[in-house]
Amino acid sequence: MKIGIIAHLKHPIRKPFMGGLEAFTYDITTLLMRRGHDVTLFASEHSDPALPLHSIMSDMDYDRETFSRFRAHELSEDFISTHHAYLELMQDIDNQSFDLIFNNSLNYVPITMSTIINTPMVTVLHTPPIFEMKRAIGKIKDKNKMHYVSVSQSNAQSWKPYMPSGCHVINNGIDVKKWTFSSQNDREYVIWFGRIHPDKGTHYAIEAARLAGKTIKIAGSIADRHYFDTNVAPLLGKDAEWVDLCTHDQLNLLIGQAEVSIITPCWDEPFGLVVAESLACGTPVAGFARGALPHILTDDIGSLTASCNTHELAECIVKASQLSRSACRSYAEKELGMDKMVSAYEALFHEIVDTKYLPHAI
């Protein structure tokens, strides 16, 4: 099958990934290629050259230190550049003979222009409803030209008011084989890992770990400097250490040697790859019951609180520390593997493409 994958343009698709969306795009592009599909990735120019990259946006203004394209007063330029990149792509996409377009852009332009192209398109809903996407979806008259996939059941429920007929649900997954299982029981710390941002609630994890009498390591990049300086840095100390960006192997070791992973979403996180990564390492999860977490975790691999109360979170940390590490790994292998995810997308792609070429559909 010949597949065109449209990436989000906020960051290049390359390691170290800035977030789950970049990791998802990289991984699914790679695995579809391994399964014999002819794949083209439409992304920004500094994406990994090992990918089948077709650059649609310059990274000349992308700053690897601030992880942004433009200074604050030039945000409108960022919007216009992204708009034009997707507009030019969609105007030409029918000429490239794709069987299907796989849209992961989080942008309204591919959705809006799906009505004037002949190639079928699948759009993945990686986030809860955002203004420009829900408006674009609501304006599409021919519902058969676009197919939607949510990355979790909870996220699908959030989108339901804007698509009453519903959408497919395919849970995100990770390459479990890339994460080494650790069964040791002599752990002396808990871990929080990910982007340090208000949405991720890093400071709650530090406070709760301290209340639980645990040393905590924070592993991740600073995505919001003001939040880090104001809410996170003042809490650091002998029992709370920040580890900046590290390699995959280093992160694997940090997670695998941790007693518990603390996951503290302060918004309705649509999935959260950090959950799958922690479980693959054999590390149980303690966290907030927001977004997809209550749908992903079971009581034998994690402990959640429905509030943002750090005392309750501390109790969850203690409970999670008693859970079976082998159960965590088994669950990750069975339910959260990337092969299962890619197979589900493949089945959907074939269903859509085969329907398009049925005699009655011509």
> For 130-141, how does the pLDDT look when each residue is reduced to its tens digit (9 = 90+)?
888 888 888 776
Q: How confident is the model at residue 246 (pLDDT cuts 50, 70, 90)?
A: confident
**Does residue 256 sit in the same domain as residue 203?**
yes
For residues 255 and 284, the answer to whether their CB atoms sit within 8 Å is no
Percent of the chain scored above 70 by pLDDT?
92
CA dist 319 to 63, 131, 136, 204, 275, Å? 42, 39, 44, 17, 17
More confident residue, 186 or 323: 323
For residues 113 and 92, the answer to whether their CB atoms sit within 8 Å is no
**In degrees, to the nearest 5, what angle opens at C-alpha 203 toward C-alphas 175 and 284?**
40
**Does residue 126 sit in the same domain as residue 201?**
no
**Does residue 120 sit in the same domain as residue 12?**
yes
**Does residue 107 sit in the same domain as residue 125?**
yes
* Domain tally, the chain: 2
The whole-angstrom separation of Cα 268 and Cα 294 is 11
Label residue 353 left, alpha or beta by phi (over 0 means left) and psi (-120 to 50 means alpha): alpha
The whole-angstrom separation of Cα 19 and Cα 27 is 13
Q: Cα Rg for the chain, rounded, in angstroms?
A: 21
- Tokens 């014999």 sit on residue: 36
More confident residue, 144 or 159: 159
For residues 324 and 302, the answer to whether their CB atoms sit within 8 Å is no
**Does residue 163 sit in the same domain as residue 283?**
no
The whole-angstrom separation of Cα 328 and Cα 252 is 15
Does residue 107 surpass a pLDDT of 60?
A: yes
How do strand 121-125 and strand 2-6 relate by DSSP bridges?
unpaired
Domain hosting residue 74, numbered range: 2-173+337-361
What is the reported pLDDT for 64?
64
**Does residue 281 sit in the same domain as residue 343?**
no
End-to-end CA gap in the chain: 19
Percent of the chain scored above 90 by pLDDT?
74
**Does residue 127 sit in the same domain as residue 229?**
no
Residue 166: CA count within 13 A, CB half-sphere:
7
**Does residue 146 sit in the same domain as residue 125?**
yes
Q: What is the mean pLDDT of residues 43-64?
A: 88
**Does residue 196 sit in the same domain as residue 209?**
yes
Q: What is the mean pLDDT of residues 10-24?
A: 87
Burial code of 84-103, b = ≥16 C-beta within 10 A, e = fewer? ebbeebbeebeeeebbbbbb
> Domain with 15 in it: what CATH number?
3.40.50.2000
Closest CA to 44 of 31, 25, 28, 27: 25
pTM to 2 decimal places: 0.82
What is the reported pLDDT for 252?
95
Q: 331: Cβ–Cβ under 8 A, 6 or more apart, which residues?
A: 279, 298, 301
* Sign of the dihedral through C-alpha 54, 106, 245, 189: negative
pLDDT tens digits, one per residue of 68-89: 665 544 556 777 889 999 999 9
**Does residue 109 sit in the same domain as residue 75?**
yes
Q: What is the mean pLDDT of the chain?
A: 91
**Does residue 230 sit in the same domain as residue 316?**
yes
DSSP string for 277-326? HHHHTT--EEEE--TTHHHH--TTTEEEESS--HHHHHHHHHHHTTS-HH
**Does residue 352 sit in the same domain as residue 275?**
no
Range list of β-strands (E), 126-282:
146-150, 168-169, 189-193, 215-219, 240-243, 261-263
